[in-house]
């Protein structure tokens, strides 16, 4: 059964990477995330960022991965990049959703310093639990509606 899940995840990821204009990027990444294939979502983010270091979708997905896995050493720099690049995006749906996402980023950055190393070690394995939605689903969906992935 495990190999079947990997095959499904690989197929979905291949579709998201190979045919971005003909598939629904939002649906692909949110389904992968929800099913627990978060490292596949990170791979998608990394591929987008290797093509364009200012790709807002790649930055957001990488930030969400780092937040989920409590990669506290690098998250504040990446959060700042999301804020800086996001401020330059002018598409209508993104602009409407971005202020709420900014609030989420600030809340996370305010909370993380209060996490003790013991709490971080205890909570990191929880990132592997499937059936948790992608927090950034609305902002990624806004990009989809704006035609960002066409």
Q: What is the pLDDT of residue 97?
A: 98
pLDDT in tens, the chain (150 residues): 444 444 444 544 444 444 444 369 999 999 999 999 999 999 999 999 999 999 999 999 999 999 999 999 999 999 999 999 999 999 999 999 999 999 999 999 999 999 999 999 999 999 999 999 999 999 999 999 999 998
The answer to whether residue 74 sits within a structural domain is yes
The answer to whether residue 150 sits within a structural domain is no
Sign of the Cα torsion 144, 30, 60, 38 reads negative
Q: What is the pLDDT of residue 23?
A: 65
The answer to whether residue 124 sits within a structural domain is yes
Sequence-separated (6 or more) residues with CB below 8 Å from residue 46: 58, 62
The answer to whether residue 98 sits within a structural domain is yes
The answer to whether residue 99 sits within a structural domain is yes
Give the domain extent around 106: 2-145
Q: What is the pLDDT of residue 18?
A: 42
Q: What is the pLDDT of residue 150?
A: 87
For the beta carbon of residue 71, count every other beta carbon within 10 angstroms.
16
The answer to whether residue 126 sits within a structural domain is yes
Using CA atoms, how far apart are residues 35 and 132, in angstroms rounded to an integer?
A: 8
Q: What is the pLDDT of residue 1?
A: 44
Per the structure, how many domains does the chain have?
Answer: 1
**Helix ranges restricted to H, 52-147:** 56-68, 72-86, 92-111, 117-123, 137-145
Sequence-separated (6 or more) residues with CB below 8 Å from residue 122: none
């Amino acid at each position: 059964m495990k190999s079947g899940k990997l095959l499904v995840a690989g197929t979905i990821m291949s579709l998201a990477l190979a045919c971005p204009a003909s598939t629904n990027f939002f649906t692909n990444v949110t389904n992968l995330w929800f099913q627990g294939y978060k490292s596949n979502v990170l791979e998608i983010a990394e591929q987008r960022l290797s093509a364009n270091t200012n790709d807002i979708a790649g930055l957001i997905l990488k930030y969400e991965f780092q937040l989920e896995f409590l990669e506290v050493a690098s998250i504040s720099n990446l959060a700042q990049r999301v804020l800086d690049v996001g401020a330059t995006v002018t598409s209508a749906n993104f602009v409407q959703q971005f202020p709420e996402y900014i609030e989420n980023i600030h809340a996370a950055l305010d909370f993380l310093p209060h996490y003790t190393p013991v709490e971080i070690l205890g909570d990191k394995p929880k990132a592997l639990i499937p059936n948790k939605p992608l927090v950034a689903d609305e902002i990624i969906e806004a990009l989809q509606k704006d035609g960002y992935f066409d």
